A and B are shown apart, each in its own frame.
Chain A
Amino acid sequence: MHVPDGFIDAPVSVATGAIAAAAVAVSLRGARREFAGSGDAAGFGGERTAPLAGLVAAFIFAVQMLNFPVAAGTSGHLLGGALAAILVGPYTGVLAVSVVLLMQGVLFADGGLTALGVNITDMALVTTLVAYGLFRALLAVLPSGRRGVGIASFVAALVSVPASAIAFTAIYAIGGTTDVATGKVFTAMVGVHLLIGIGEAVITALTVGAVLAVRPDLVYGARGQVKRLELRTVEVATPGGPGAAKPAARDLPGDAPEAEAPPVAEGDRVPVGAGAPRAKGNRKVWLAGLAAALVCAGGLSYYASADPDGLEKVAHDKGIDQKTEEHAAKDSPLADYGVKDITNARLSGGLAGVIGVGATLAVGSGVFVLVRRRKTAAGPAAVPARETEAV
């Protein structure tokens, strides 16, 4: 919520403006450090700050327009303070959110110009600092790894939003222009923002998780917590023999620090075409599927409506079905999905379902086995040139 002009009186607006200016000045210096120290660009120093912080600000600006539907018709969006702090660090986070607020105020008249100090103090400063502090504190306690980072970012975002509401209430208590009791403002603001915070927490944790899965090195707050992804190679079945894998392994991205380490230890290679576990996995899925099919066919059709389904009913009502010829298999034991000579309609239907699944399965498997046999017969050479997995 962007505070408009006139909500907070002039002296407090000026004071918060001074706080915001000081915070931004400190962040400008800190952001240079954050970017200078990041990863492979240690040599570049501070001049990375402007383009990168600018693009991060553009990202925050854009992601605030991404709608997350909540329920019928309502939707929310990310505030982004906690997300920015976790992804790019507290200083850059403060800078990015402040720049977004500044531009929203000057260009879009969203949030008053004199209230800029208030807005930056409670939305950029408090949110980001609380989120980052909590995030780091939790990481120290929680087990490292992706789950720890996920929980930490959830809690950090969850707390950061009401914290910003509390900061606003404090500013309001000092310089509010209206006569609403501070207690009421506190209850309303914190109550609403607790709800918003839950959404913010879920989205932040999911987003951090998504970045972590692809580029863990870009999550500033989780440096040293999550292993950098490694490029795994497998031996390719080529005439060159085992040595042939070496040149491929050397193709690692040159700028990544792992390039200096021996590419991948021999033992780390993923066994591709790992027959046993994969077949086992397949069998499990296959059995589960069969069980589900049987339950559906047998159990559910037991309870299914005996009324004709939609199309059948319409056809019947309109008299279309009078012309349809009786199905050729009408005298088959399964005609109209019931088993002959079993009088209990439901039991009969269920049994018919089970038999149907069994028959489908038999035919399907038969076709599959035939096709596969033919393929194998075509020659083992056609069978898989082994794939390379980059995990």
Chain B
Amino acid sequence: MGAAGGTGHASGGGAVHRLYRAGGSAVHALPPQCKIAAVFGFVLAVVATPREAVWAFGLYALLLAAVAAAARIPALFLLRRLLIEIPFVAFALLMPFVAEGERVRVLGLSLSESGLWGAWNILAKGTLGVAASVLLAASTELRALLLGLQRLRMPSLLVQIASFMIRYGDVIGDEMRRMRIARESRGFTARGVRHWGVLAKSAGALFIRSYERGERVHLAMLSRGYTGTMPVIDDVTATRAQWAYAAALPLTALAVCLTGWTL
């Protein structure tokens, strides 16, 4: 049934639903387990590529651009989501200054050659990794992602925990927001370390509320016949053709990676 083809029963909500872009493309229609496996294989191939093969990373970027085009995900959306990487960009930029090895002079600065390579390595591989996960999250619904993980033999208990976390993440986040509004409407603004006591009390209250909600959810589920496993209602099976289509990405990446090693 192809993950409902993104007909847009956008679940999740809050911070999460902004990650997903509904669409009817072939990439959206792929079963989630194929996509997860493909992205994982792709990233593994990228990480295993020698950093000196600069051209290989260009090819990887082209591959991802092709996927984005196939999924009709706008470049701006992708670029905006790439911003999450910024802390590592800063870290990578520091690298040429602190690394060991031969120094080269670039624009009057004495930089470590291997440090430059290291910075390039982190920047290139990190960016490709982030872009791949962003494409996965943008073309796959949240529920479908969890289903796909289950199909890939992730323990069902772990999948359940993850699905509860996603399902109630917004509820707990809202609870926290209401507590903040309550604090602020009583004239409280946290300005420094002196106010940590108040914030920590909020965190403690949030924990108690979360835990007690968990107990209520459990009882509600028990009363509906829950015995520890979730019934699989919409099982997503993948045909051989779908697997082959999804495998195009990691296999091409693997070919590039191997060429990178032999050249």
Closest approach, in angstroms, between the C-beta of A136 and any C-beta of chain B?
20
B199–A103 CB distance below 8 A: no
Cβ contact within 8 Å between A50 and B125: no
Q: A215 contacts B122, CB within 8 Å? A: no
- Name which of B1-9, B221-229, B239-247 contacts chain A: B221-229
Contact at A51–B200, with CB atoms within 8 Å? no
Q: Mark B213-224, 1 if CB is under 8 A from A, else 0.
A: 111011001100
Instruction: Check A4/B47 contact, CB under 8 A, given A50-B161, A62-B172, A210-B200.
Output: no
- CB within 8 Å for A63 and B203 given contacts A109-B134, A114-B43, A178-B121: yes
- Whether B166 contacts A114 by the Cβ 8 Å rule is no
Of all chain B residues, the one with the shortest Cβ separation from A8 is B47
| A53 nearest CB neighbor, chain B only | B161
Q: How many residues of B contact A (CB 8 A)?
A: 90
Say yes or no: B192 contacts A109, CB within 8 Å. Answer: no
A31 to B101, CA, bound (A): 48
Segment of A41-49, A261-269, A340-348 engaged in the interface with chain B: A41-49
Asked whether B126 lies within 8 Å of A179 as measured between CB atoms, the reply is: no
Q: In the complex the two chains form, is B84's CB within 8 Å of A109's CB?
A: yes
Known: A9-B47, A109-B133. A99 touches B202 (CB 8 A): no
- Complex CA gap A157/B167 in Å reads 29
CB contacts (< 8 Å) of B145 on chain A: these are: 106-107
Contact in complex: B133, A203 (CB < 8 Å)? no
Residues of B within 8 A of A62 (CB): 169, 172-173, 175-176, 206, 210
Asked if A51 and B221 sit within 8 Å, CB to CB, the answer is yes
- A102 contacts B46, C-beta separation under 8 Å: no
- Cα A99 to Cα B162 with chains together (Å): 6
A368: CB under 8 A from chain B?
no
Across-interface contacts of A57 in B (CB, < 8 A): 161-162, 164-165
Chain B residues with CB below 8 A from A70, complex form: 192-193
**B60-87, CB < 8 A from A:** 81, 84-85, 87
Pair count A-B, CB < 8 A: 261
B112 lies within 8 A of A59 (CB): no
B56 within 8 A of A: no
Q: Is the CB of B165 within 8 A of A68?
A: no
Point out the residue from A6, A25, A208 that lies within 8 Å of B124, measured CB to CB. A6
Instruction: Please pick, from B115, B126, B134, B213, the residue contacting A4 in the complex, using a CB distance under 8 A.
Output: B126
Chain B residues with Cβ below 8 Å from A109 are 81, 84, 129-131, 133-134, 137
The answer to whether B186 has its CB under 8 Å from any CB of chain A is no
Asked if B121 and A69 make an inter-chain contact with CB atoms under 8 angstroms apart, the answer reads no
Query: Is the pair A5, B214 in contact by a Cβ cutoff of 8 Å?
Result: no
Residues of chain B lying within 8 A (CB to CB) of residue A49: 157, 161
Contact of B147 with A by CB under 8 A = no
Asked if A66 lies at the interface with its beta carbon under 8 angstroms from chain B, I say yes
B128 shortest CB reach to chain A, Å: 7
> What chain B residues lie within 8 Å of A54 (beta carbons)?
160-165, 167-168, 214
The 9 closest A-B pairs by CB, nearest first: A54-B164, A6-B125, A210-B204, A5-B129, A178-B118, A206-B200, A55-B214, A47-B228, A4-B126
List 18 interface pairs A-B (beta carbons < 8 Å), by A numbering.
A5-B126, A6-B122, A25-B155, A47-B218, A50-B164, A51-B164, A56-B214, A57-B162, A62-B173, A62-B175, A62-B176, A62-B206, A63-B206, A71-B193, A87-B207, A107-B142, A209-B200, A218-B207
Known: A51-B218, A58-B171. 13 other contacts (CB 8 A): A1-B87, A5-B46, A25-B155, A45-B228, A51-B214, A52-B215, A62-B210, A95-B161, A109-B131, A112-B125, A177-B118, A208-B204, A218-B211
Interface residues of B (CB under 8 A from A): 16, 19, 36, 39-40, 43-44, 46-48, 51, 81, 84-85, 87-88, 95, 98-101, 112, 114-115, 117-119, 121-122, 124-126, 128-134, 136-137, 142, 145, 155, 157-158, 160-169, 171-173, 175-176, 190-193, 195-197, 199-208, 210-211, 213-215, 217-218, 221-222, 226-228
